[in-house]
Amino acid sequence: MADEGVAEHYQVLEELGRGSFGIVYKGIEKTTGETVAIKHIDLESNDDDIQDIQAEIAVLSTCA
């Protein structure tokens, strides 16, 4: 996982799992030290419908 935006704000620690839309990593938010889950969705190699991915993102964005 080498996204510049993620690396700028988070320290990625380890892979937690893989799902139908991507890979979930455990990370640390650099400013607060808070433990977070980071989901990396590879849109280029994902065969799933973009609407399904957007629906999952909407649900995940409500988790805090």
The binding site comprises: 39
Tell me the binding residues for ATP.
39
Give phi and psi for 52, each to the nearest 5: -65, -40
d(CA 37, CA 54): 18
Cα distance between residue 46 and residue 50, in whole Å? 9
